[in-house]
Structure 1
Amino acid sequence: MFVFTSILFWASVTLGHPYGPADVSPEQWKALNASVGGRLNVGIPVARPCFTEAGTGVAGSTNAIECAAVRQGWGNSLFFVEQFGAYQNVQWGSCQATTQTCVISGANTSDPAPSNPPNVCQQGSVPPHYIDVRDASDVQKALKFSKQTGVPLVVKNTGHDYKGRSSAPGSLALWTHNLQSLSYNASFVPAGCPASHAKPGVTMGAGSIITNIVAFAEANDITVVTGAETSVGASGGWVMGGGHGALSNTLGLGVDRVLEFKIVTPTGAFLTANECQNTDLFWALRGGGGGTFGVVLESTTLASPKMTLQVAFAAFSRTNTNATRGFYEVLVENSVRWAEQGFGGYIEPFQALYVTPKLNSTESAATMKPLFDYVTSLAPTDPGVQILSTELPSYGAFFQNFLANSGAPVGENAALGTRLIPAANFNSTASRSALVDALMQTLAHVTFDLTLIATTPYNVPDTGATSVTEAWRTAIWHAVAEGGWDASVPIADEKAAYTGISQAVDFLRAITPDAAYQNEADIHEPNHEVSFWGTHYARLLQIKKKYDPDNVLSCWHCVGYDPSSPRFSCYV
């Protein structure tokens, strides 16, 4: 592991920070460091080694070897996840409101201009201090320190956070990335439950990332529902926000499958939450969002048997934009039927990838014929046409063949907007036509892409056991519009990017109910309490106040957040 730290620890931490309490004494920091076994570290922006000049209080130094590693690793999520000072979307390590940042160009990582004078590496929103969390005691000590000093706390796992919830200026971070244990129990009994509750379960530390979890499941001949991004931590915000994946249509969201959480609450209690104890907290954690009800150290998720999967893939040239409307028309015409047949997957404006465990190869090829026929019809003038219908022996094989080398952009500034699109929008000729129109309008207004994610739990009914919005259960697609900008730009341009992506999603908002996926949402999502949680927000807020009466853990658009808090001073 290659992590940038500073040998000038006490020199740097005593300099204070313009957005955090400046009167924390060196003795207090030293006492905290001693109490956590010397694992209190300086948070250094990942690009710091490439800068010859740094702002006040920014630790680290110019280093050609380390800079070369940063330039080579920039854009690689598995590199970023190992660096505390790195965020997958780099604006969340910056202070956007002041344009204070420390980044290189994601478009041209070898370009020296962003890191050369007069540009200066600034701390931005990278927490100036962090604890490398290894057990519950570390979290408890941090909570006590925060209450005594007023230093705000944030929880950072892998840095896959589209809304800046794992960074804050002048904060102390709890870095859970190194909690990477994995174990399998074929008869896991949640603590406090009778033996009759035994189910096969995989217990994973908060820092366990999806690529390792998929490999572990494959080695044990089981299936675990995960997302598509290799370096996401499956016990963190992914599952607590809902957690969708290619198999969610038939196996459920991550929250549907979690059996137990081990968590330190903001009052310092180390609790086990499952269906037999702390059941209100268990419900809240199953969709209420990460970084707000406590610090999860591990979770246990339901394991299913290894399963044979049918895969359908169709694509044409990205540049063949004239084919996109017809492509959408075929998808909209058939997607309810495909959802009923268990298909989940990922759709770009020029390609579709579907997978199901419910059909055999003949059935899969037959039901996908309209998609294959349309794309094949483009072949005479489009050399980029591809058609594939295949059977794979496991989810691990599917992941390695289709997902492991893909993923969302890393090392760039990104603005997202999202919408859950229900089956009602597919039910009539008029509603289908309106949906295609809205998709085309949204696509015309995004600067990056529009992804239609068919990973909703359409065949998994709402039992009331989770706190995600009920809209997940009737949705066919989770649509994600994405825009962004490169390197450092004026505040006006940053605001324009967020406004632009929100306006792009407005075309879909106009024809759908208020429902969005909190982990990938517009940071200015209108009516976010309903969009993220449906009818559940009032109960979630009650539980929040019970387990965090002082609102020690707070994050943007999380349950009970206060938008006037100084910790949000870098948002635009």
Structure 2
Amino acid sequence: MFFLPFILLFWASATHGHPHELTIRDVTLEQWRALNSSVGGKLHVGVPVARPCFRLAAPGVGGTTNATECSTVRQGWGDSLFLVEHFGAYLNVQWGSCQATEQTCVISGLNSSNPVPSDPPNICQQGSVPPHYIDVRDASDVQKAFAFSKKTGVPLVVKNTGHDYKGRSSAPGSLALWTHNLQQLSYNTSFVPIGCPASHAKPGVTMGAGAIITNIVAFAEANNITVVTGAETSVGASGGWLMGGGHGPLANTYGLGVDRVLEFKIVTPTGDFLTANECQNTDLFWALRGGGGGTFGVVLESTTLASPRVTLQVAFAAFSRNNTNATRGLYEVIVDNSVRWAEQGYGGYIEPNQALYVTPNLNSTESAASMKPLFDYVTSLAPSDPGVKILSMELPSYGAFFQNFIANSGAPVGENAVVGTRLVPAANFNSTASRSALVDALMQTLAHVTFDLTLIATSPYNVPDTGATSVTEAWRTAIWHAVAEGGWDASAPVADQKAAYAGISQAIDFLRAITPDAAYQNEADVNEPNHEVSFWGTNYPRLLQIKKKYDPHNLLSCWHCVGYDPSSPRFSCYI
């Protein structure tokens, strides 16, 4: 049964907003009930996931105190697979809070069993968790939401799994479209995009918007195929990961997610349920292949190219994390060899004390020979470092690699996390001087982060730019996607939170100073300067035209998305 536990207070229309932005009007209980009826009872109250742990709650916050449920929440707080099952959860928890007003409902990410953050006088507050959401199951649910927003001015957000570094899937006082339960997966050996001739047939996997990477990899294994994914197990592969580019360990040779997508099914803000592929709605297809999620419509499913099962060569080398004196030497070896490794098809992940590489292009003998400089360096540390580990192995499939090396790793979960990112092109590796400058910048960046610096060798270096996607052209010449990570714990005051954002911007500035203006939009600095160029290169003007065509009233707007206006009240919780 639907109920309205509070009266929503909406903002007045912003005078400096989008030229077609709607005026927000008072919404009556009868209108909410009518919306709930129109979507078959799928309108729900959004409750912060930590609500059961709080004895005190602000007026209007749904849910109740419950010791058993709280214990479950505390146990699952650092588990992304747990959090994605709950609408009121965000994996980087500040995006469920209103940072500007310090209204929040979170427990400690450093020690989830610590009762202090949830004990009185602390109060569970709604923050930026949307107070209402529709559990989307079909196109009609989305169409009804767009009509409701257009009539009332209630802001919309699209939420899939809650993997969100920029707050794009939350907003105070909003109505959310939760696509998590669109979990369908199917495989067609001869998929023909709708409207295309039979000659376009390719093997394809069709996945609902909510299907997560861990399930997709398992599905591909069961069908003896390879589907390119990212590394985070609980990311939805049809959502923002895909539409923002979609990088992963095989991207070097297989391409980004947007290189491989064959078709989208999408509901646009004009209320149309469209199929976008290379044969129809081609402008929208191009925009969705890199223009970002939550922008041009709500994608219900996508179909991506399936490749044959592939044998992979894996190289891993590590030393003790506290052996910080060895980090510069690791960087020097990797910088000296990275272009050659990229040309050989290697993708991978580099931390300050370890490197993981994988390629489908070499045999085991060739891979061991290619990785010898890395292995020799790390082996040289063994006499004084008991944490040295060297591994060179062949695996029979991407699924085997994923389970052995990726599934149990990942980014911070249940914490307040901020990131800054930079695409580092081959030009930075071309000379002795440029390589030395790059190593210096890496060391400076590392010295200024509070969490970590990860160098992600997942650029589509061997997949040329054909103009078919709308991501920045800089992806095609990049060797790395560098990510600086920082954050704070639940109890930090807003001044410390602002300092964390500023600090990560300053950390990535060392790499900004020596690289072109290019970043990965899904993991970028919240305060990314010149974001239109950084994310989309020369493609932004065309993306903006397409945005206005399919969303003339700007019903969908999110931070640093195409056509966004930072003065909109939906961004009032940013700091």
Q: How high is the TM-score relative to the length of structure 1?
A: 0.98
Give CA-to-partner distance per residue, 1:248-267, whole Å, 9 cap, x none: 00000000000000000000
Residue aligning to 1:3? none
1:296 to 292, 295, 299: 299
Matched, 1:141 2:134: no
Letter in 2 for 1:556: W
Matched, 1:415 2:418: yes
Give CA-to-partner distance per residue, 1:368-409, whole Å, 9 cap, x none: 000000000000000000000000000000000000111111
**Distance in 1 of aligned mates of 2:198 and 2:9:** 52
Report the CA distance between 1:16 and its aligned residue. Answer: 1.4
When residues 124 and 18 of structure 1 are mapped into structure 2, their CA distance, relative to the original with a 3 A threshold, is farther
Is contact 1:19-1:169 (8 Å) kept?
no
Matched, 1:276 2:276: no
Please show how residues 448-463 of structure 1 align to structure 2 within 5 Å.
448-463=451-466
**Distance in 1 of aligned mates of 2:388 and 2:182:** 44
**Distance in 1 of aligned mates of 2:10 and 2:498:** 23
**Distance in 2 of aligned mates of 1:395 and 1:60:** 42
Residue aligning to 2:8? 16
Matched, 1:358 2:361: yes
Residue aligning to 2:219? 216
Give CA-to-partner distance per residue, 1:87-136, whole Å, 9 cap, x none: 00000000000010000001111111000111100000000000000000
SS at match of 2:384: coil
**Distance in 2 of aligned mates of 1:71 and 1:345:** 32
Matched, 1:253 2:253: no
Letter in 2 for 1:546: K
Residue aligning to 1:263? 266
Is contact 2:80-2:91 (8 Å) kept?
yes
Is contact 1:99-1:488 (8 Å) kept?
no
CA RMSD of aligned residues (A): 0.9
Residue aligning to 1:323? 326
**Distance in 1 of aligned mates of 2:312 and 2:226:** 11
1:562 to 546, 553, 565: 565
Residue aligning to 1:444? 447
Residue aligning to 1:123? 126
Letter in 1 for 2:397: S
Residue aligning to 1:226? 229
Matched, 1:64 2:67: yes
Is contact 1:132-1:178 (8 Å) kept?
yes
1:27 to 15, 21, 30: 30
SS at match of 1:10: coil
Residue aligning to 1:395? 398
SS at match of 1:202: strand
Matched, 1:470 2:462: no
Identity among equivalent positions (%) equals 85
SS at match of 1:147: helix
Gaps of 5+ in 1: 1-6
Gaps of 5+ in 2: 13-23
Letter in 1 for 2:109: G
2:105 to 99, 102, 107: 102
**Distance in 1 of aligned mates of 2:158 and 2:175:** 9
1:500 to 492, 498, 503: 503
Residue aligning to 1:41? 44
SS at match of 2:111: coil
1:176 to 154, 176, 179: 179
SS at match of 2:453: strand
Matched, 1:404 2:407: yes
**Distance in 1 of aligned mates of 2:161 and 2:538:** 30
**Distance in 2 of aligned mates of 1:515 and 1:169:** 30
Letter in 2 for 1:16: L
Matched, 1:81 2:84: yes
Letter in 1 for 2:7: L
Residue aligning to 1:92? 95
SS at match of 2:26: coil
Letter in 1 for 2:233: T
1:305 to 281, 303, 308: 308
SS at match of 1:276: coil
Give CA-to-partner distance per residue, 1:397-443, whole Å, 9 cap, x none: 00000001111110000010000000000000000000000000000
**Distance in 2 of aligned mates of 1:322 and 1:18:** 55
SS at match of 1:481: strand
Is contact 1:99-1:489 (8 Å) kept?
no
**Distance in 1 of aligned mates of 2:314 and 2:493:** 45
Is contact 1:264-1:294 (8 Å) kept?
yes
Is contact 2:291-2:471 (8 Å) kept?
yes
SS at match of 1:234: coil
SS at match of 1:482: strand
Letter in 2 for 1:15: I
Residue aligning to 1:4? none
Give CA-to-partner distance per residue, 1:489-521, whole Å, 9 cap, x none: 221111100000000000000000000000000
Is contact 1:40-1:132 (8 Å) kept?
yes
**Distance in 1 of aligned mates of 2:64 and 2:237:** 34
**Distance in 2 of aligned mates of 1:355 and 1:341:** 10
**Distance in 2 of aligned mates of 1:387 and 1:308:** 20
SS at match of 1:262: strand
**Distance in 2 of aligned mates of 1:48 and 1:79:** 15
**Distance in 2 of aligned mates of 1:431 and 1:71:** 47
**Distance in 2 of aligned mates of 1:197 and 1:275:** 10
Give CA-to-partner distance per residue, 1:502-553, whole Å, 9 cap, x none: 0000000000000000000000000100000000000000000000011110
Report the CA distance between 1:22 and its aligned residue. Answer: 7.5
**Distance in 2 of aligned mates of 1:59 and 1:188:** 45
Give CA-to-partner distance per residue, 1:346-387, whole Å, 9 cap, x none: 000000000000000000000000000000000000000000
Letter in 2 for 1:10: F
Residue aligning to 1:341? 344
Matched, 1:367 2:359: no
* Count, aligned residues: 564
**Distance in 1 of aligned mates of 2:40 and 2:518:** 44
Letter in 1 for 2:337: N
Is contact 2:4-2:29 (8 Å) kept?
no
Matched, 1:512 2:515: yes
**Distance in 2 of aligned mates of 1:539 and 1:145:** 29
Matched, 1:530 2:533: yes
Is contact 2:134-2:177 (8 Å) kept?
yes
Is contact 2:191-2:203 (8 Å) kept?
yes
**Distance in 2 of aligned mates of 1:274 and 1:206:** 16
**Distance in 2 of aligned mates of 1:376 and 1:441:** 26
Is contact 1:17-1:57 (8 Å) kept?
no
Please show how residues 380-391 of structure 1 align to structure 2 within 5 Å.
380-391=383-394
**Distance in 1 of aligned mates of 2:4 and 2:225:** 50
Report the CA distance between 1:56 and its aligned residue. Answer: 1.9
Q: How high is the TM-score relative to the length of structure 2?
A: 0.97
Is contact 1:16-1:22 (8 Å) kept?
no
Report the CA distance between 1:18 and its aligned residue. Answer: 6.3
**Distance in 1 of aligned mates of 2:329 and 2:10:** 54
